[in-house]
Chain A
Amino acid sequence: MQLQDKYRIAILSAYALGLHGFESLLPSPIPWLRLGLANIITITTLFLYGTGAAVTVTLIRVVLGSLFAGTFPGPAFILSLGGGLASALVMGSIFSVAPRLFSAIGLSIIGALFHNLVQLVIAYFLFIQKIEAVLLITPLMVLLGTLTGTANGAVSGLLIKNLKISGQKVQNVD
């Protein structure tokens, strides 16, 4: 079972990496505007295997993703790590304290929100240092994050449902 869990983490991380990479191939009107597709996997992991697994998958995705993209210890990596960790941790703690308060969609929105806010704070301290620019962009980021977060959450919801059913089937066969 433990070995199997490790495989699951590895497979989920691979999915997250795949989505992350796929997303960076999509044309984007603004360079830093991201759909956050990898968050689908983070939420799925959270619901199925808990906070620790979700954080682990996020860490693996961020580190390997930036290694593949060649941005490893650079600014893009710091932003990605800060945003990813913050959203996974916040989603995780809310989910462990009150698992029934939010559905996957609500958690996904929260995840997107914290992902964006933490990235803005990091960007302000490390790179931009113009509070006007950050303030100007924050509402837009929050708005877009809420919309993409809803969509990602919906996909995660479907995924969780299907995986739970198939998981049970597999167990039954076992």
Chain B
Amino acid sequence: MKINFILHNPEFGPGSLRYIFSVLHLSACLLLLVSLSACSSQKDRVFSKTRVLMDTAITITVVAASQEGAEKAIDSAFREIEKIGKLSDFYSSGSEISLINKKAGISGVKVSPDVLQLVEKAVYVSEKTGGAYDMTIGSVSGLYDFHKKVLPGKDAVRKGLRLVNYRDISIDRSVSSVFLKKEGMLIDPGGITKGYAADKALECLKKEGIASGIISVAGDIRAFGSKPDGRPWNIGIRNPRAESREDDVMATIELMDAAISTSGDYERFFFSDNVRYHHILDPRTGRPASRCISVSIIADEAAYTDAFSTGIFIMGPEQGMKVLEEMKFNGVIVDNRGRIHMTPGIGGRIEFKNSP
């Protein structure tokens, strides 16, 4: 019996040219395979942290190579959100927003660049929505209490409505001041701060070298970059009429470098005589807007999606779709009969799970 016969086999042994060729060929194929898989799987991982700030739950998710790097970036973003929350707190007497409100009809108030930008963006959205979104609604919204189920009387609402007009906000950029022209006027930045905070948090994360992630400030979401596997982020749109945890999500939508916000009548509400009273008030009537039950808007900045989703919710589906078209935004509107209106731009990116 010949041991090592194959070594001496000229036709097919490790010494033969054909053998060497086939081994080389195989190695080349293998190398290609290995390098392909190595490229697609980076060492990046997803880190996520939730905190309660601005009276709401905020979750920041980032893709990073190390936990230390991720936590450093997330913490700096949280500090930024905390700062904006303090500046713009409607209820705290020391905030810049409260100062503006206190000096209404008296004098302008010098404010920080953040509050100036916030008010400017709010006024811009008011102009584009024909006053449907209006941050001066504070004089009416302060009359409602959604925890204690307090409904204001008609007279009080009528009185409050007289002070609602975004045109009475006067901004002086040169000295960075905001002046409310009528005494008693109240600006409530609740419909734009969360989105604005998400935008600023994103700047923080980018400064810390983060290339992708999600900032979710109570449903105002700013996503950037992609998941570690290169796929876009998957954002769920809450089902406005969910009955259990199973049908919690109405649809999922893929998002890469964009913001999304949803305004719904299900967030803060109570029933009185079988009527749903929710927190999105129509500046023209002072009553909860009733044309829609949920409006989701996709745009570049979360400050805009936040405020436009409120404005379009109030305007209703027909006018709302026109605004979306004009602004070149995308959106999904569920009207008060449960019908879904959608801009053509999100056709392929949305997947419906549960009908409202």
Q: How far is the CA of A49 from the CA of B14 in the complex (A)?
A: 13
Q: Interface centre among A52, A127, A168, by most B CB within 10 Å?
A: A52
What DSSP secondary structure best describes chain B's contact surface?
loop
> In the complex the two chains form, is B1's CB within 8 Å of A164's CB?
yes
Chain A residues with CB under 8 Å of B30's CB are: 78, 81
> In the complex the two chains form, is A5's CB within 8 Å of B3's CB?
no
CB-defined interface of B1-44 with A at 8 Å, one 1/0 digit per residue?
11111110101111000000000001000100110011001010
Given A73-B33, A126-B38: A5 and B9 interface contact (C-beta under 8 Å): yes
> In the complex the two chains form, is B1's CB within 8 Å of A52's CB?
no
**Tally of A interface residues using CB under 8 Å:** 26
Q: Which of A6, A52, A78 contacts B33 (CB 8 A)?
A: A78
Given A2-B11, A6-B12: A49 and B34 interface contact (C-beta under 8 Å): no
Q: Interface centre among A53, A81, A167, by most B CB within 10 Å?
A: A53
> In the complex the two chains form, is B12's CB within 8 Å of A50's CB?
no
CB-defined interface of A1-18 with B at 8 Å, one 1/0 digit per residue?
110011001000000000
Cβ-based interface call for A56 (8 A): yes
> In the complex the two chains form, is A129's CB within 8 Å of B43's CB?
yes
> In the complex the two chains form, is B41's CB within 8 Å of A2's CB?
no
* Closest beta carbon of chain B to A103's beta carbon, Å: 16
* Closest beta carbon of chain B to A43's beta carbon, Å: 14
> In the complex the two chains form, is A52's CB within 8 Å of B14's CB?
yes
* Closest beta carbon of chain A to B63's beta carbon, Å: 14
Chain B residues with CB under 8 Å of A75's CB are: 37
Q: Which of B4, B6, B34, B41 contacts A78 (CB 8 A)?
A: B34
> In the complex the two chains form, is B41's CB within 8 Å of A49's CB?
no
B-facing residues in A137-166 (Cβ within 8 Å): 164
> In the complex the two chains form, is A129's CB within 8 Å of B5's CB?
no
Q: How far is the CA of A73 from the CA of B4 in the complex (A)?
A: 31
Q: Which of A53, A59, A126, A164 contacts B34 (CB 8 A)?
A: A126
Cβ-based interface call for A48 (8 A): yes
> In the complex the two chains form, is A1's CB within 8 Å of B2's CB?
yes
Chain A residues with CB under 8 Å of B33's CB are: 73, 78
In the complex, the chain A residue whose C-beta lies closest to that of B29 is A73
Q: Which of A56, A125, A164 contacts B6 (CB 8 A)?
A: A56
Chain B residues with CB under 8 Å of A55's CB are: 14
User: Known contacts A50-B6, A171-B1; can you find 19 more A-B pairs with CB under 8 A?
Assistant: A1-B5, A2-B9, A6-B12, A48-B3, A49-B2, A49-B5, A49-B6, A50-B3, A51-B4, A52-B6, A52-B13, A52-B14, A53-B5, A55-B14, A56-B6, A73-B33, A126-B41, A129-B43, A168-B1
Residues of chain A having any CB pair with chain B under 8 Å: 1-2, 5-6, 9, 48-53, 55-56, 59, 73, 75, 78, 81, 125-127, 129, 164, 167-168, 171
